[in-house]
Every structure is written in C-alpha cells, then in structure tokens.
Amino acid sequence: MENANATNAKPEIAVSLRDVNKWYGEFHVLKNVNLDVERGQRIVICGPSGSGKSTMIRCINRLEEHQAGQIIVDGIELNNDLKNIDQIRREVGMVFQHFNLFPHLTVLENCCLAPMWVRKIPRKQAEATAMEYLERVKIPHQAKKYPGQLSGGQQQRVAIARSLCMKPRIMLFDEPTSALDPEMIKEVLDTMIELAESGMTMLCVTHEMGFAKTVADSVIFMDAGQIIEMNTPDEFFNHPQHERSKLFLSQILGH
Amino acid sequence: MTDPNLSATPQTLSTVPSKPSFWNDPQKRALVFQVLLVIGIGILLWFIFSNTLHNLEKRGIRTGFDFLSRPAGFGISQTLIPYTEASTFGRTFFVGLLNTLLVAGLGIIFATILGFAVGIARLSTNWLISRIALVFIETIRNIPPLLQILFWYRAILPLLPGPKDSMSLAELFYLHKRGLTIPAPLTEPAFVWTLWAVLGALVLAFLIARWAKYRRESTGQQFPVFWTVLVVIIGLPTLVFFLTGSPLNWDIPALRGFNFQGGLTVIPELTALLLALSIYTAAFIAEIVRSGIQSVYKGQTEAASALGLRPNRTLQLVVIPQAMRVIIPQLTSQYLNLTKNTSLGVAIGYPDLVNVFAGTTLNQTGQAVEIIFMTMLVYLVISLVISMFMNWYNKRMALVER
C-alpha cells in the first residue's frame, strides 16, 4: 500500500480542493473553499451546524456534487466521468453519524459486501480480511450477529471496519460520535486514534476537541460555507485568530 | 426478648403470599369465562344447525351432497377440463374452480409485473415518466373494480369488428368481438421429449447459477449468468424439438361462415376480467413498491455508494432486500384481493366458481346451504394458502434485531 514516491521532498497531496462552490437552490453552502491535504495528514474540521463541514467532506466522495471549482482526490479529478467517481470511491472510505450498517446482513457480510462485489475478492479472502479488521476494532466475536443486536458504539466500530476492508487510502468521518451515548464515545475515539497512528490520511468532522488535540495535524474552522481558520491544534485552541473561532471555542469549551 | 412489637414486625413483612379467593385469581377467572363462551357458542351453533335442518325439511328441500353426482344438463362457455352437458354437478364445481384459478393466477402474474414497472417508473427522475405513472395510479385505483370490468367488456371490446372482418396477424391470430382466436397446439407423442428438455434446462440453469455463485465467491470472477441461462433455457428445448422431428402441429383457425373453425378462442369475458383486475391491482402494487423502496433510509444508499457499489448493485444488494420487508405483507393482501375480486366476473358472465356453481348449479338444484358453504370454503382455502406462502416468505426476509 505504501507509495514508492513518498520519499520525494515535496509531500504528496491526497486531497485538493480549488475554489469549490456549491449551492442548495439559493443557499450558497460552500464559498470558494480551498484545501490541500497531504498524504498521512489528520485533519479535524469543526464549526457551527450549517457551516458546510459535512457538505465539504461529502463532496470529496461525490455523495454531494460541487457546482464550481475543482476537487482532485489521489490525483484523479472528480467530474461527471463515472469511471473517475468509481475509482475515487474505492480509495476513499467514509464513516457516517448514523453508522448506516446494512441491517439485513450480518456484521461479517457487511464487511465483505463491497470487497466481494467491487474489488472482486474471493469470499474466503474477503472474510479473512474482514476478521482481521474486526479484531482491530475489537469485536471479532460479534461477526455472526446482525447490526440490530449491537450497541451504538459497537455498530460504529463495525462501520469503521467495513470501510477499512476496502483498504482505502483516505478516510472521511462525518460526526462519527454525535449519535452515541457518552460512555460509548471513548471506544469509537480509541479506534480512530489507533487508525490515525497507523498513518491513515483522515478528514474528521467532529466536535471532540480532545481527539483534535491528541491526533490532529491541523484543525479547520468553518463558518457560513467558508474556511475561516486553519491551524495546528495547539495554536487553534490557545490563540484563535478570528472572532468567530473565539466565540465558537468559548461556546463549546465554556461549560 | 418478648417485646411483641419486635417479633411482630418481621412477621408481617415476610408474610406467605396468601392464596387469592377463587374469584380474584385472574387465571381461574379467565378459565371460567372461556368455558362459558365455548358453551354459549356451541348452543348457538346447534340452534342454527337444527333450525335450518328443520326448516329445510318442512319446505321439502333436499339436503346432503348427493346432488353432486347428478347430471348438470347445462353448458359452460369456457372449460379447462373435458365437460359436456351430460357431466355431473360435481364436475361444474371443478370447471368453475379452475376458471377462477386461471383468472387469479394469470392476474397475479400480470399485476405483479405491471405493478413493479409502474412503481419503479413512479420513482424515476424523468419528470414525464413519473407523472405518467402518477396519473395511471391515481386514475385506476379510484375507480371501482366492477366499473372497470364493465368498461372493458361493454365499452372497449364491443368496438372490435365481428369475426368476418376481424383484425388478423399473419392469418394466424384473429382479434374480434367474440374473443381472440389463436392457433391451437396439437402435440404428437414425441413432444414429451421437448417438455423433458424444458425441465432439464431449468435444472441445468439452476446448477449453472449455483456454480457461478460458487466461482464468484471463491475466485472473485463474475460470470454472465443471465445470458448463459437464457441461452440454455431457450436453446436446449429448441434443439431437442428439432432432433425429435418437430412433433408439434398447429390447428390453424379458419373462418367458416360467421364463426371460426379450429384454433383456440379466448373468450372476451376472460380478456375483459383479466385486463380489468390486472390493471386495477397493478395500481395498488405500484404504490406498495414505491413506498417499499422509499422506506429504505437514504443513508443505506449513501453507505453503499461510499463503499464503491454501483447504483444497480446497490438496488440489488441493499435496497431491494430491505424494501421487500415492507412490500411483501401488503403484496399478500393485494393477491388475496385480486383472487376474491375474480367473483366480480359474474357481472359479465365469466364462468367462474361463483357464476357456474354458486349461480347456475344452485338455481338448478336449489341446495343453497351446501353450495354456498362449499364456495366460501374454496375462497377461504385459496386465501389461506396464499397467506401461508407469503408468511413463510416474509419470515425468511425478516430482519434480526435484539
């Protein structure tokens, strides 16, 4: 999986957004967004609700279509070419707020579905890989159960394992802990921290500031469809530059 | 030590659960009421039964089922099994039953195909297609089914020309007022090999599908199952047919005077009833299919897309299996409705069970109690069989939770 060119002096760009704009009808949801994510970088995106954080990362794997600008993922430009979209989606994994596991399939089948049908891997091999990742997220013994039989935290860890089974090079997290009970947040964050330490390129929309401080290379603050501030976690939390970021931080850290 | 208060307190706390009196024990109460209810129903049934028997006897009406072996003496316009006027009343029961099952079976097949097509069209992103589907559904399901049967039978089919100037296709198929006349197959004994070949092809197709699944799972390679199976199912019987010397002839219909000789004529009553019931039920099935697909949470499609599954695979592997949970129970009741609605064929004289047996046979024999009872029992059995099958299927598709 390691890229041979990684030794180049210039860091490899995994995701690049150039002047990306998007409208929902009249509503301008993304305004001239520019962003470069290097391979192996861990980025946390925060901001008030409705600021376009989720929309931005959902544009990266074409769950939403951007209307102007350029998105390049892994050197492939995201346009209306279905082949490009397919290729990008194979390399980009995504974890959702509501897990979105397939309720009619067992945990193991959830993990094997895409490798078997998209990567065309034999069932035995797909199951072996799936068990490997289920072990990494610490629920191998639940493999034969159905999602409805698991707790929220367990379901989210299965969802992470399911994405990893496609061996993606980039992982997107869309508020992965927002739908969880407090005591389950930790088990999911631990899984994400472990993944970050393995060198995965990650873009996480989250309000877990502890997670941001521990693993993020940089924190992005978005408001009203724009990237207001991008800084190291240390700088961002201790010396926020903009009024909006100061206000936001005081609101979420204030209690 | 002997303070009465100290020793009394623990005793009252750990009282042995006292036995409730007979009337306050919920289990015994329930038992008493159930026994009373059974006795009450028994008395009522006995009263109805003995009263009916008494009245029938007083008026000199025959009872019992021996009428079934008496000759019927009337003709039926469509018989799937050999039947003449000399056949028994018992035979009229089976002729009517088969005619009912014919409409119900064909109707279920046509309604399902049309309903799924319209339901998916309703969800199309193409504005025109989805609007056409909407208008179809809203028009058809808001008009009473009996009226629709009369519409096809009285308004549309009579517009067709008489047999003499019938619309013909290649001088083989003739569409006219009195029905659709088509060539009838006349089989030679060797034709049985072709039928065996059809059976063999189906088995072979099943094995190919199994093998292809096994190969896909063990090597990951896809196999064009659909096209291979299609070639096998069509090819093998065709090959056997010609190898055994084409043992099938056609009885070509020909116009003699005012009517057709030879061939098979599908009576207009069947056409009208089938058209009306299929279309009417299809409108309901379309709505069921639409609601089933829409009931699958949008996140499911998003998760499948994010994993790289193409839209058609997403539909096949993620959306449809979940939609079927919602669709099947409602589909069952539509199948039951269609089956029961076949009795509306009486209005246009289609010889179904109600028309032939609960109609003509009842009039001729006068044994209403037995005949109505038998007819109701038939509908009950058909409905229960459909229900049982669908329940079994539903259980297989159900989600496991907790």
Which domain-ending residue is among B234, B251, B268? B251
B222 touches chain A (CB under 8 A): yes
In this structure, the answer to whether residues B153 and B204 fall within a common structural domain is no
Residue listed under structure tokens 């709505």: B287
| Set of chain A residues whose Cβ sits within 8 Å of the Cβ of B324 | none
- What pLDDT was estimated at residue B13? 60
A163 touches chain B (CB under 8 A): yes
In this structure, the answer to whether residues B280 and B239 fall within a common structural domain is no
In this structure, the answer to whether residues B148 and B114 fall within a common structural domain is yes
In this structure, the answer to whether residues B336 and B365 fall within a common structural domain is yes
- What pLDDT was estimated at residue A6? 44
- What pLDDT was estimated at residue B401? 59
Mutation target to probe the B interface, by most B beta carbons within 10 A, among A89, A116, A117 is: A117
Calculate the CA A10 to chain-centre distance.
24
**How buried is residue A194: exposed, middle or buried, by Cβ count under 10 Å (0-12/13-18/19+)?**
middle
- What pLDDT was estimated at residue B220? 74
Number of independent structural domains in chain B: 2
Q: Which residue has the higher pLDDT, B257 or A89?
A: A89
- What pLDDT was estimated at residue B177? 79
In this structure, the answer to whether residues B264 and B223 fall within a common structural domain is no
Establish if B44 belongs to a structural domain: no
Cβ-proximal residues to A80 (8 Å cutoff; 6+ apart), any chain: none
Establish if B107 belongs to a structural domain: yes
Establish if B125 belongs to a structural domain: yes
Give the range of the structural domain holding residue B327, as residue numbers without chain letter: 89-157+260-399
Establish if B81 belongs to a structural domain: no
- What pLDDT was estimated at residue B116? 92
B401 touches chain A (CB under 8 A): yes
- Report the C-alpha gap between A69 and A78 in whole angstroms: 10
Of B305, B309, B397, nearest to A117 by CB-CB distance is B309
DSSP state letters, chain A:
---GGGGSSSPPEEEEEEEEEEEETTEEEEEEEEEEEETT-EEEEE-STTSSHHHHHHHHTTSS--SEEEEEETTEE-SS-HHHHHHHHHHEEEE-TT----TTS-HHHHHHHHHHHTS---HHHHHHHHHHHHHHTT-GGGTTS-GGGS-HHHHHHHHHHHHHTT--SEEEEESTTTTS-HHHHHHHHHHHHHHHHTT-EEEEE---HHHHHHH-SEEEEEETTEEEEEE-HHHHHHS--SHHHHHHHHHHH--
Residue listed under structure tokens 């299809």: B282
Calculate the CA A3 to chain-centre distance.
21
- Report the C-alpha gap between B218 and B233 in whole angstroms: 26
- Report the C-alpha gap between B289 and B111 in whole angstroms: 12
Min Cα separation B36/chain A (Å): 44
Rounded to two decimals, the ipTM of the complex is 0.90
- Do residue B220 and residue A149 have CB atoms under 8 angstroms apart? no
What's phi and psi for B188, nearest 5 deg?
-95, 165
Min Cα separation B206/chain A (Å): 21
Mutation target to probe the B interface, by most B beta carbons within 10 A, among A100, A105, A127 is: A100
What CATH number should be reported for the domain holding residue B374? 1.10.3720.10
Whole-model pTM above 0.80?
no
- Do residue B217 and residue A86 have CB atoms under 8 angstroms apart? no
Which 184-213 residues of chain A touch chain B by CB within 8 A? none
Of A93, A113, A146, nearest to B401 by CB-CB distance is A146
Min Cα separation A32/chain B (Å): 25
- What pLDDT was estimated at residue B179? 80
| Set of chain A residues whose Cβ sits within 8 Å of the Cβ of B319 | none
Specify the 3-state DSSP secondary structure of B176: strand
In this structure, the answer to whether residues B274 and B372 fall within a common structural domain is yes
In this structure, the answer to whether residues B359 and B394 fall within a common structural domain is yes
The CA-atom distances, in angstroms, between B108 and each of A96, B94, B101, B139, B279 are 41, 21, 10, 20, 10
- Do residue A63 and residue B305 have CB atoms under 8 angstroms apart? yes
B305 touches chain A (CB under 8 A): yes
- What pLDDT was estimated at residue B17? 67
| Set of chain A residues whose Cβ sits within 8 Å of the Cβ of B304 | 102, 114
Min Cα separation A93/chain B (Å): 7
Calculate the CA B69 to chain-centre distance.
30
| Set of chain A residues whose Cβ sits within 8 Å of the Cβ of B221 | 120
- Do residue A148 and residue B399 have CB atoms under 8 angstroms apart? yes
CB B247 within 8 A of CB B187: yes
Min Cα separation A251/chain B (Å): 30
- Report the C-alpha gap between A53 and A226 in whole angstroms: 9
CB B396 within 8 A of CB B324: no
CB A47 within 8 A of CB A223: yes
- What pLDDT was estimated at residue A53? 93
Q: What is the pLDDT of residues A34-46, one digit of tens each?
A: 999 999 999 999 9
- Report the C-alpha gap between A55 and A65 in whole angstroms: 9
Residue listed under structure tokens 């058909």: B382
- What pLDDT was estimated at residue B79? 86
- What pLDDT was estimated at residue A7? 47
Q: Which of A93, A23, A28 is nearest to A57 (CA)?
A: A93
A114 touches chain B (CB under 8 A): yes
Min Cα separation B168/chain A (Å): 48
Which domain-ending residue is among B203, B224, B251? B251
Establish if B332 belongs to a structural domain: yes
| Set of chain A residues whose Cβ sits within 8 Å of the Cβ of B325 | 104
Establish if B62 belongs to a structural domain: no
Establish if B20 belongs to a structural domain: no
| Set of chain B residues whose Cβ sits within 8 Å of the Cβ of A103 | 322, 399, 401
Residue listed under structure tokens 């005619």: B99
In this structure, the answer to whether residues B351 and B304 fall within a common structural domain is yes
A103 touches chain B (CB under 8 A): yes
- Do residue A98 and residue B299 have CB atoms under 8 angstroms apart? yes
Of A92, A120, A149, nearest to B400 by CB-CB distance is A149
Min Cα separation B111/chain A (Å): 27
In the predicted structure, residue A8 carries a pLDDT above the cut 60 = no
Of A100, A119, A148, nearest to B303 by CB-CB distance is A100
What's phi and psi for A45, nearest 5 deg?
-115, 125
- Do residue A121 and residue B299 have CB atoms under 8 angstroms apart? no
- What pLDDT was estimated at residue A1? 42
**pLDDT-derived band of residue A29, with 50, 70 and 90 as boundaries?**
very high
B399 touches chain A (CB under 8 A): yes
In this structure, the answer to whether residues B307 and B384 fall within a common structural domain is yes
**Degrees, nearest 5: CA angle B186-B192-B197:** 125
Q: Which of B4, B306, B287, B246 is nearest to B121 (CA)?
A: B287
In this structure, the answer to whether residues B212 and B338 fall within a common structural domain is no
Of A98, A123, A166, nearest to B308 by CB-CB distance is A166
Q: Give the H or E element holding residue B261.
A: strand B259-261
Nearest CA in chain A to B304: A114
Q: What is the pLDDT of residues B332-375, one digit of tens each?
A: 889 999 999 999 999 999 999 999 999 999 998 888 888 999 99
Mutation target to probe the A interface, by most A beta carbons within 10 A, among B217, B297, B307, B318 is: B307
In this structure, the answer to whether residues B349 and B395 fall within a common structural domain is yes
Min Cα separation A114/chain B (Å): 6
Which domain-ending residue is among B224, B251, B278? B251
Q: Give the H or E element holding residue B266.
A: strand B264-266
In this structure, the answer to whether residues B264 and B231 fall within a common structural domain is no
**What would you report as the CA-atom Rg of chain B, rounded to the nearest whole angstrom?**
31
- Report the C-alpha gap between A92 and A163 in whole angstroms: 8
User: Which token pair is A53?
Assistant: 């954080």
Establish if B46 belongs to a structural domain: no
Q: Residue ranges of chain B with pLDDT lower than 70?
A: 1-17, 399-402
- What pLDDT was estimated at residue B14? 59
A113 touches chain B (CB under 8 A): yes
